[in-house]
Amino acid sequence: MMTGNEYKESLRKIHPRIYYMGEKIDCVVDHPMIKPHVNSAAMTYDLACDPMYENLMTATSHLTGKKVNRFTHIHQSIEDLVNKVKMMRMIAQKTGTCFQRCVGFDAMNATFITTYNMDKKYGTNYHERFKKWMTYVQENDLMIAGAMTDVKGNRSLKPSKQADPDLFTHVVEKREDGVIICGAKAHMTGMANSHEMLILPTTNLLDGDQDYAIACAVPVDAEGITHIFGRQTNDQRRLQGDLDTGNSEYAIVGGETLTVLDHVFVPWDRVFMCGEVDFAQDYVARFAAYHRQNYGGCKVGNSDVLIGATSMIAKMNGTRKNSLIKDKLTEMIHLAETMYCCSLACSYEGVKEEAGSYYVNTLLANEVKLNCTRNMYEISRLAHDIAGGFIATLPHEWDLNNPETGKWIEKFFVGNEEYTARDRIKIARLLENMSGGTALAESMHGAGSPQAMKVMILRESNVEQKEQFAMDLAHVKL
């Protein structure tokens, strides 16, 4: 397993083509816009090497029998599913942000099951290919970006019906030694500082969509790949200092890219699906359930930080002992712990698949994320309510550091005299950046938008059985 520093050094050895603000980035480790995201991901490596967190951060590989970083592990028990959630909450408490490895983690676990099922039906050898690649990932402790979301174009049309065929990632050529793919993947969390990407379909596919049923592993610096790093709320603050970013070491949310795949070659031993449209829907649903499971871990860990910041700002404002403030803080805790309960529930209700790995309860996993799309907004609203309007009008940190203006800021931004104005501003900036803009949009649409969860909840809830319960009690026979 790698340490955080070893992870950073490994990124210096690869050379992805990444652009930001019209310029090519030479090294993500040193670039001020991406460096905090690298730091956050590095935490997943350092904690795995810390004996205090070994139980949560590591597991024993069923492929090699060796100890591996849990982010490269295929779940082998209910305990693995539960420890995943607890691990994510713990890391989020330490970083206050996204640490980016969960998307690839979930894609690998979904692929393990799907390749087994495809091989069983069609006699293909995808599963053995995938296990060989997984062994490589574990042995080298690689960070894998889960590349699921296509840009989608006209949402009313299936992939093969789009005006531009590249709006969904697809195979454009099959060769004796591999395939050539074209397309793009959007909102790629952690892609800029990953080693490889695991590409999988983004939607249910029908007959005629065979070229779009592609799953494969590709290095992030493979020929034909261009990454365009996306903007985030207040991102330019990172170039102007540390205080106004709120969380200068780890930033807010994971860094995302638009990843363009322009005639990228993939050898057959890295192809794990090619044309099996009948498995696309199940593949997507499994990935989505694994990923939605996470949100009661990572988002609750982030909420722990936000609740702490809100409580501190109330102390600094001199309002912490007010019963109304206590009631609102209690509501924030209730909303967070409700999400955590859902994540634990879908994990404890998980099942062993025929492939040998463990899978979460699909219904409850979708409940996790649907709650998150609402609860994170309410937690943030309550944080704003308690903090007060000054979080939206604070002066620039350069003015705080300017002797001519800093003395007035230090004087007039004091609340409770037990705390300095500078410390009050630091906590306020953390709260501001964690509770708005990109962070909220990610809580809404990350791992799927609300309607996607509602579709799965209705599909999984067995309404017909509930109807029968009612008819039995009412003595209705049809």
Q: Show which residues are catalytic.
A: 98, 102, 189, 256, 291, 295, 298, 442
CA distance 291 to 106: 6
Backbone angles phi, psi at 184, to 5 degrees: -155, 150
Measured in whole angstroms, the distance separating CA 19 from the mean position of its chain's CA atoms is 22
Q: For the residues of 38-57, what is the DSSP string, one character each?
A: HHHHHHHHHHHT-GGGHHHH
Strand partners, 144: 196
CA distance 282 to 131: 20
Q: Is 315 buried (19+), middle (13-18) or exposed (0-12) by CB count in 10 A?
A: middle
Q: Which of 28, 378, 375, 4 is nearest to 221 (CA)?
A: 28
Structure token pair of residue 364: 């409850």
Instruction: Give the pairing of strands 257-267 and 271-274.
Output: unpaired
| H or E stretch at 463 | helix 463-474
Ramachandran region of residue 137, left (φ > 0), alpha (ψ -120 to 50) or beta?
A: alpha
* Cα separation values, 279 from 270, 275, 387, Å: 18, 9, 49
Ramachandran region of residue 180, left (φ > 0), alpha (ψ -120 to 50) or beta?
A: beta
- Quick one: angle between helices 362-387 and 323-348, nearest 10? 160
* Cα separation values, 408 from 61, 240, 243, 430, Å: 59, 21, 18, 22
- Other beta carbons within 10 angstroms of residue 356's beta carbon come to 13
CA distance 275 to 270: 15
Contact 20, 33 (CB under 8 A): yes
Identify the DSSP state of 233.
Answer: T
DSSP alpha helix (H) spans, 96-192: 102-122, 126-140
- Other beta carbons within 10 angstroms of residue 61's beta carbon come to 19
